[in-house]
Amino acid sequence: MSDQKRLSEGDPAPDFRLPDSTGTEVSLADFRGRHVVVYFYPAASTPGCTTQACDFRDNLAELNDAGFTVLGVSPDKPAKLAKFVADEGLTFPLLADESREVLTEWGAYGEKQNYGRTITGVIRSTFVVDPEGRIAKAMYNVRATGHVAKLRRDLGV
């Protein structure tokens, strides 16, 4: 693997401003003072990404009640995200990083293993950002299935 960037606990969370599924700009700084779960996924409406998004949707009330806001980020266009939100009844913001700049800055885009081959793409990753804007938890190469349940256990939610 290359020496691509990875974030660790205690690092400042790189700020971003990205359009959501409606085209409205969303900035990480907008959530300062709150805990935020930022998860990066490869593509809307694919089986694994749908499983993961629906798990977040189904656990959103408990996460919100525990003080966690959820944001999903992918390289999809806002229109594709809007269809994904409508098709799956998603109730949290999905953000479009078409340039992959934010994905790269967070270490969620780069070389990864896929069926024994090294490819370049989105590395399914989840981060918890504390109210001061620092990384409280950094998880790379997470599995789509069961990830939200593990995250809830780790967060005590």
CATH of the domain spanning 17-155:
3.40.30.10
* 23 φ/ψ sector (left φ>0, alpha ψ -120 to 50, else beta): left
From the candidates 18, 36, 38, 49, which is the catalytic residue?
Answer: 49
Is position 49 annotated as part of the catalytic site? Answer: yes
Give the model confidence (pLDDT) of 81-107 as tens digits.
Answer: 999 999 999 999 999 999 999 999 999
pTM of the model: 0.93
Domain ranges of the chain: 17-155
Q: Which helix (H) or strand (E) holds 71?
A: strand 68-74
Which of 107, 127, 151 is CA-nearest to residue 31? Answer: 127
Question: Given a cut of 80, is residue 4 above it in pLDDT?
Answer: no
pLDDT of 127 > 80? The answer is yes
